Structure 1
Amino acid sequence: MAELYKQVIFDALGNDRKNFEEKRRKLIADISGQNNSLTNIRALLLSNDIDIEDYKIMKSKCEDKIDRLEAQLKELKTWLVLKVI
């Protein structure tokens, strides 16, 4: 009976771990996408395709999004640590 209980716990944690990894990969991909957007925005500014005001607005939006995504990633990692304990 103890072995069965142990297997159920490991299965539950395995599913949580799989969900964690999927969410983590998505958040990291979204952060990377926003960083790529920042790079493109800088290129537009350097090529004079946008003015400094537009650059500041777009940069601010990307940085805000990155901050939110990083906070979600940190929260996700904290959740996993608490789940394992």
Structure 2
Amino acid sequence: MTTIEKYLHLQGSVPCKIRAKRGFATHPRSIAERERRIRISARIKKLQDLFPNSDKQTSTADMLDEAVQYIKDLRKQLKVQENT
């Protein structure tokens, strides 16, 4: 047998693992991770809709910083109203 025939014969004895196409992961962990990312994205969008003047193009970290700042401002306004 030639070297190539030996190589092909060896390959034939080992089952090949078929790879999924991009976006079609089949491993349960990959599917679970995709579902988790989808849920997080949906909740981030809902949170973003709650705040006025929120820029849809900002990163998640920047949007969360803005949300925290907005909530702090609302708390300050509430304290001012309670004291009057």
Q: Into which bin does the TM-score normalised by the smaller protein fall? A: 0.3 to 0.5
Alignment TM-score, normalising by the size of structure 2: 0.35
Alignment TM-score, normalising by the size of structure 1: 0.35
